[in-house]
């Protein structure tokens, strides 16, 4: 059904139009009662005694008693309308009752009452007979409306002859039954022109109805100033009206409509869903994509990934403002994303990569270590040499994802600063650059994976070259781009991307110092993992540890460095010679409000407990003293805490050691409490505490998680990752684009040029020739910009080899013929001479190769006459 109403406001001197589009399910055409088109013109006097003339056109109507539903799709001010049909009562009138205060309207058509709810003004029209019945109530109203025309146009949907109704959507109904509808509305000239342009062609009957109503409206505009309509009671002559004021209504589609009236104390205003609702929905979607849950099928995971993608596309920037959502992202969502990288279904794998891109592109400032774990795991997939089709496709999609990351402005710079220049993080940018370089090496022919890897390398080169060019152009101008004499930060020109606040950005000197310190710490770590005393000595010699040795400094090194071998840490701190280091190491833990078994579990995660009794006693004695003091000395003395801690270790062995279980039956809770009877200064420990300790140890073994495999190891590593992220180490530094271009190019130049040489040499496609030559030129331009003569010479020498002119085994005729037939050789020669001409001041040893090429061309008589005459 389509209802079009027109409104004229004399106070504003303009007309408003509102359209209510509806869909409804009706009977078959055979059962539909045809009502001949009826034009009724009626007049009435308003408060100013003005004449009103309205034309109402009614066409094919549904049969009485049919279920009608009206759903608003395009109503001004987002009005919500509903319509219902009640028990039919035979009548030939079309009557409208209007109530502005209650924001309700009742339409009675042929005895069928339809109740309409509306959050704002409802404008309606009655025919002559109904207007006569309620004309008295139109005077003395509180508000005014300016409309007197309504046209009700039911859609003629039918069943298929089987007695079952067809369910038409609003859009399908409008398209399929457009020819059966007649439309009557009036608009201003601009609105009318707009509607004509956007509407579909109407049939002749519709055009006649439209023109007739437009002419009637012209008379209406000249004769009507405004019509006062007062609030009226329910229609007494409509006994079938069953929906009362304040009553909820549910349409046949299951949509609930709740009336809302302003000014009532017991009515809660309509507000958007709050963060609690969003959090619950987000939590559900995150749990649905957990691959470790057996009930989550592949289809469920795919649906959840798609919905999460949509949520991040529209609201990723807002997630960081809510701790509840951010906690979900840092924990479960990131872990599920990393776990789904092992998915065998390509669609889920691709959706996972897309979700990860959206997440880390917008929220990487909160996800430093999560993004590191993700990129390291993704890099391992690109090195997979499995020749199966699915693995090859996954490898290709993974490389496309890396290329997408690499094209984010400033992303590679942030990788270098936050990971390669962090003492205890992996060299993410350097390792990925080497990986991409190896993936770009074609073994036989050039494949798509080779080009993707090369494109990722060249994306960094393109960015650096662009920044260098912008820097040169800005230096040639006396003032900055804004004309204020200030220059922007190097390279940060014309780059569109997400803007982050760049705070605490290290300088070039600081970056170099951090990078150097990281190399020394890596060397000392390797020595420590082979022999602890030697590692400490090397670190002292390199200035990373003070001499004489500071116990607190060593303890901090043990706690912060995740690369250290846990066995070697336990071996070092359990030695009596290093007792002060052990004391400082234990005091670095905060055991407050932790039960002794919980604190012991946290303590033993950081090192491996020695196997001998004496070292174990030494380590546990220091632990018991610190735990006892952190918790307000809950026992009689620290010896009681030491005894209980030792008993927990023995209980752990008794319950979970295979050899111990074999020799004797594991102890019960009563046995455990019996063994500790009277050790708390002659008294017993609390029974509830001992039972809790026993149950916790029996349920979950105290293990060295780093030495485990599977889910135990993964849980531990993820817990350590979250703990590091919550500390100062988790601070992510955003850097201006182009700030460390020189350092980046130093790392990327050699692997990029090597990849370009191999691709250029083994490809037979001119398009790839052009790509490689462009890469060579940009690398040369950057080398010249930073005065890197050795690198520039190396690049020119490599290009000279591709000219084939340096071969001395061939005759001059054969050499000239091969050169003339090879597009690759000609492009290389052209590039060599162009670079020598433009950057000759940087060229050093490469001049020899350039001159050799010129001499060979002279011998082959291929030089232009201008050079030889």
Number of H helices, E strands in the chain: 33, 12
Q: Rounded to whole angstroms, how far apart are CA atoms 208 and 290?
A: 62
**Pairwise pLDDT comparison (211 vs 705), residue with the higher score:** 705
Task: Give 406's Cβ-side CA count (13 Å radius).
Answer: 26
pLDDT at position 107: 43
Measured in degrees and rounded to the nearest 5, phi and psi for residue 498 equal -65, 135
pLDDT in tens, 644-700: 999 999 998 888 876 666 567 788 999 999 999 999 988 999 999 999 999 999 998
Q: Rounded to whole angstroms, how far apart are CA atoms 790 and 805?
A: 23
Q: Give the total residue count for the chain.
A: 869
User: Tokens 């959507």 belong to which residue?
Assistant: 169
H runs (alpha helix) in 364-427: 368-382, 389-406, 411-415
- Residue 41: both structure tokens together: 């013109």
Pick from 144, 19, 159: nearest CA to 81:
19
Q: Rounded to whole angstroms, how far apart are CA atoms 161 and 163?
A: 6
Contact 222, 7 (CB under 8 A): no
pLDDT in tens, 95-107: 333 333 333 444 4
Q: Rounded to whole angstroms, how far apart are CA atoms 744 and 515?
A: 13
* Beta strands 256-257; 54-58: pairing state: unpaired
Contact 551, 580 (CB under 8 A): yes
Fill in the DSSP letter of residue 680: B
pLDDT at position 497: 53
Q: Which residues pair with 106 in a beta bridge?
A: 97, 115
pLDDT at position 492: 36
Q: Rounded to whole angstroms, how far apart are CA atoms 102 and 261?
A: 6
pLDDT at position 808: 67
DSSP element (H, E) containing 750: helix 741-762
Least confident of 438-442, 655-659, 756-760: 655-659
pLDDT at position 385: 66
- Residue 662: both structure tokens together: 């074999």
Least confident of 217-221, 559-563, 691-695: 217-221
Q: What angle do CA 173, 177, 178 make, to 5 degrees?
A: 110
Active site residue ranges = 612
Helix (H, G, I), strand (E, B) or coil at 356: helix
- What residues have CB less than 8 Å from 380, skipping those under 6 apart? none
pLDDT in tens, 455-465: 999 999 999 99
Q: Rounded to whole angstroms, how far apart are CA atoms 827 and 825?
A: 6
- pLDDT for 65 beyond 70: no
User: Tokens 């610190």 belong to which residue?
Assistant: 626
Q: Rounded to whole angstroms, how far apart are CA atoms 51 and 223?
A: 6
Contact 622, 578 (CB under 8 A): no
Q: What pLDDT band is residue 290 in, cutting at 50, 70 and 90?
A: very high
pLDDT in tens, 84-133: 333 333 333 333 333 333 334 444 444 444 444 433 333 333 333 333 33
pLDDT in tens, 384-436: 666 677 788 999 999 999 999 999 999 999 999 999 999 999 999 999 999 99
Contact 569, 558 (CB under 8 A): yes
Instruction: Give the whole-number percent of the chain exceeding pLDDT 70.
Output: 64
Cα-to-chain-centroid distance, residue 493: 26
Q: Rounded to whole angstroms, how far apart are CA atoms 41 and 56?
A: 7
- pLDDT for 58 beyond 70: no
- Residue 518: both structure tokens together: 């990281």
pLDDT at position 131: 37
CA distances from 741 to 261, 427, 491 (A): 63, 17, 9
Q: Rounded to whole angstroms, how far apart are CA atoms 389 and 394?
A: 9
pTM greater than the 0.85 cutoff: no
> Cα-atom radius of gyration of the chain, to the nearest Å?
41
Contact 778, 792 (CB under 8 A): no
- pLDDT for 466 beyond 60: yes
- pLDDT for 148 beyond 70: no
Q: Rounded to whole angstroms, how far apart are CA atoms 830 and 119?
A: 74
């Amino acid at each position: 059904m389509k209802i079009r109403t027109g409104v004229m406001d004399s106070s504003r001197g303009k007309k408003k139009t509102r359209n209510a589009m509806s869909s409804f399910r009706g009977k078959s055409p055979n059962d539909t009662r045809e009502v001949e088109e009826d034009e009724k013109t009626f007049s009435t006097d308003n408060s100013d005694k003005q004449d009103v003339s309205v034309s109402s056109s009614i066409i094919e109507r549904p049969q009485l008693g049919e279920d009608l539903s009206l759903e608003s799709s395009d109503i001004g001010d987002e009005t919500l309308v509903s319509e219902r049909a009640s028990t039919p009562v035979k009548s030939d009138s079309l009557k409208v009752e209007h109530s502005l205060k209650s924001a309700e309207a009742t339409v009675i058509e042929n005895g069928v009452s339809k109740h309409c709810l509306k959050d704002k003004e409802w404008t309606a029209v009655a025919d002559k007979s109904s207007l006569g019945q309620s004309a008295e109530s139109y005077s003395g109203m509180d508000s005014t409306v300016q409309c007197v025309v309504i046209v009700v146009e039911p859609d003629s949907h039918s069943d298929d002859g089987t007695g079952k109704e067809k369910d038409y959507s609003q859009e399908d109904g409008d398209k399929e039954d457009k020819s059966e509808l007649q439309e009557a509305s009036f608009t201003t000239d601009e609105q009318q022109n707009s509607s004509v342009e956007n509407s579909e062609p109407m049939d002749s009957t519709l055009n006649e109805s439209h023109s007739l109503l437009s002419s009637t409206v012209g008379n209406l505009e000249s004769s009507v100033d405004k019509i006062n309509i007062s609030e009226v009671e329910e229609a007494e002559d409509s006994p079938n009206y069953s929906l009362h004021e304040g009553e909820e209504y549910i349409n046949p589609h299951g949509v609930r409509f709740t009336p809302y009236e302003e000014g009532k104390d017991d009515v809660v205003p309509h507000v958007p869903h709050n963060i609690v609702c969003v959090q619950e929905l987000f939590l559900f979607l995150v749990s649905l994509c957990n691959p470790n849950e057996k009930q989550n099928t592949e289809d469920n995971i795919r649906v959840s990934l798609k919905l999460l993608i949509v949520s991040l596309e529209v609201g990723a920037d807002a997630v960081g403002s809510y701790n509840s959502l951010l906690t979900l992202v840092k924990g479960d969502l990131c872990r599920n994303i990393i776990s789904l990288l092992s998915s065998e279904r390509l669609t889920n794998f691709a959706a996972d990569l897309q979700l990860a891109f959206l997440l880390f592109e917008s929220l990487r400032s909160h996800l430093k270590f999560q993004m590191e774990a993700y990129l390291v795991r993704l890099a391992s997939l690109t090195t997979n040499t499995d020749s199966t089709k699915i693995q090859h496709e996954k490898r290709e999609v993974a490389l496309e994802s890396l290329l997408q990351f690499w094209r984010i402005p400033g992303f590679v710079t942030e990788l270098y600063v936050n990971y390669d220049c962090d003492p205890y993080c992996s060299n993410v940018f350097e390792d990925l650059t080497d990986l991409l370089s190896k993936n770009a090496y074609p073994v036989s022919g050039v494949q798509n994976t080779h080009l993707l890897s090369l494109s990722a390398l060249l994306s960094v080169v393109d960015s650096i070259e662009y920044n260098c060019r912008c820097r040169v152009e800005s230096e040639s101008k006396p003032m900055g781009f804004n004309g204020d004499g200030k220059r922007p930060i190097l390279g940060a020109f014309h780059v569109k991307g997400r803007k982050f606040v760049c705070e605490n950005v290290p300088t070039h000197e600081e970056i170099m110092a951090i990078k150097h310190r990281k190399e020394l710490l890596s060397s000392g770590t390797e020595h420590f993992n082979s022999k602890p005393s030697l590692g400490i000595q090397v670190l002292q010699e390199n200035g990373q540890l003070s001499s004489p040795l500071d116990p607190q400094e060593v303890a901090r090194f043990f706690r912060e460095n995740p690369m250290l071998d846990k066995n070697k840490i336990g071996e070092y701190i359990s030695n009596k010679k290093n007792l002060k280091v052990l004391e400082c190491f234990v005091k670095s833990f905060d055991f407050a409000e932790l039960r002794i078994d919980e604190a012991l579990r946290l303590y033993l995660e950081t090192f491996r407990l020695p196997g001998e009794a004496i070292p174990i006693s030494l380590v546990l004695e220091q632990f018991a003293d610190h735990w006892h003091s952190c918790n307000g000395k809950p026992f009689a003395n620290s010896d009681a805490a030491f005894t209980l801690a030792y008993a927990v270790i023995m209980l752990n062995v008794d319950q979970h050691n295979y050899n111990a279980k074999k020799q004797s039956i594991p102890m019960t809770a009563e046995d455990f409490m019996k063994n500790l009877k009277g050790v708390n200064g002659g008294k017993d420990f609390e029974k509830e505490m001992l039972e809790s300790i026993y149950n916790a140890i029996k349920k979950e073994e105290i293990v060295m998680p780093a030495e485990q495999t599977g889910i135990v190891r993964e849980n531990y590593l993820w817990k350590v990752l979250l703990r590091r992220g919550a500390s100062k180490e988790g601070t992510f530094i955003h850097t201006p684009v182009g700030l460390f271009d020189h350092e980046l190019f130093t790392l990327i130049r050699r692997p990029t040029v090597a990849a370009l040489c191999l691709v250029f040499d083994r490809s037979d496609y001119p398009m790839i020739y052009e790509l490689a030559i462009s890469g060579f030129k940009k690398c040369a331009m950057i080398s010249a910009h930073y005065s890197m003569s050795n690198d520039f010479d190396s690049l020119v020498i490599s290009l000279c080899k591709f000219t084939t002119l340096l071969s001395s085994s061939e005759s001059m005729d054969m050499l000239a013929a091969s050169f003339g037939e090879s597009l690759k050789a000609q492009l290389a020669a052209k590039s060599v001479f162009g670079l020598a001409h433009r950057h000759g001041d940087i060229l050093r040893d490469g001049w020899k190769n350039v001159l050799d090429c010129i001499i060979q061309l002279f011998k082959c008589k291929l030089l232009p006459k201008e050079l030889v005459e």
